[in-house]
Structure 1
Amino acid sequence: MLRGMDLAVIAAGFGAGILTSTVGVASLLSFPVLIALGIPPVVANVSNTIGLLPGSLTGSIGYRRELREVPRPITIAVIALCSVGSIGGVVLLLALPPGVFAALAPWLILFTCLIVGAQPRISRWLRARSDQPHGLRTSMSPATYFFTALTGVYGGYFGAGAGVMMMAVLGLGLDLELRVVNGLKTLSLLAANVVASAIFVVIADINWRAAALLAIGSLAGGYLGSHIGRRIPGGLLRTLIVIAGIIAAVLMLR
């Protein structure tokens, strides 16, 4: 029989699934709930990553229409870079003291919030300097490759705000509608978390009950979030992403 705290974890998974497919700060909701249950931070982080996989999966399915608009080479490159980067993040998580990378995370999130907010203006400036026809950037630059991989590293290490970071990287590096970027962001983080979870299953301690309860909630939340994210106007979605990222950074600085 489900206990009260079990229902709280399922609810957290549902909410986190919605956030995964929209503003990209899912762990801001689910991770503190696991900590409140008394689960050690690293175990909670690992269990959280595994538990939110179904939300990323159903969110990606919900964005399948948007994902068809992304050139296949870009989709393959983003998935590959995030997957490889997440391996580095797992190594950092299991090898370094918990506070080393986490101390930088709030500042990285705040910086990416600034980038997301200023992205339309920056993109116009980049298009004006582009050598491609009409200034449209339909291929990834070396900088976009690098920062996509770096975001994969962060996603494998902790992940709170990784969606905000990925929105900034892809939004600046490519001329795609924000709803399409949101779909590609959701798919890329799914790839990163699949690789990280596969490693965690082999070598890390996992609270399987917590992971399973999160999975139940995130399964529905991710799909619902993709439909919400598709319907939110681009300007409003950008504002919500910035607000969510700032909240995540402030909570992590406490």
Structure 2
Amino acid sequence: MTASTRAEVCVVACAEAWRGDGEILASPIGLVPTVGARLARATFSPDLLLTDGEASLGVGTWPVGEPPAQVEGVLPFRQIFELIWSGRRHVMMGPGQIDRYGNVNISAIGDFHRPKVALLGVRGAPGNTVSHPCSYWVPRHSRRIFVERVDLVCGIGYDRAAAAGPSASRYHQLRRVVSNLGVFDFPGPDHRMRLVSVHPGATVDQIREATGFDLQVDADVPQTRLPTPAELRLIRTVIDPAGHRDAEVPR
């Protein structure tokens, strides 16, 4: 089997965010996170619940862009809130901006009343980030996304959750940030973003240069793990046989 691509390394890094989550709803947003969530359930997290992107819970592993061959349940929109409030969900969102503490902007770049760029809107980000685990996927790592200070706080970071008190911090957990260059988390007492691993072909210096704040970088940063042959087979022949992942992270 040919060597893994950068997109396939990112798929596995996203999948790892759901490792050990048990029977909860995995909510991937974006192509690579979707492939990653399906890979996680097909391998090391078999209890995950996955939707078809609408209101059905799919059985087994099915290709992106197609409906599941079998449905095991219905998950209408109103029931999503029960999962959110009970903490039985782990979403992977795509930030327009993210800072060193994990505060995220998905609404507007620039002045909120006269934005340079209008994005999705605040949507469910505040409730997501204070109710259940959240992770983030950034397909193009740059200083425009990894910023010193976000223009508008939508998803709550560790500093703001701590300042707000137990009502915000009790269930607050930012699990992982995965970009096309590396993997990041928020360890330690101050929860500053740390570089966990570097994707093959990228470097620590490249990641630092593409980040608009000082990352926590340990003395020895490992390489992000490569997909196993079994994982590559699932990605290439079952989950994404059309190769859509390469459009999100080019070869």
What range describes the TM-score normalised by the shorter chain of this pair? Answer: under 0.3
**As a proportion of its length, which structure holds more helix?**
1
Q: Pick 1 or 2: higher relative contact order, CA cutoff 8 A, min separation 6.
A: 1
Structure-1-length-normalised TM-score: 0.25
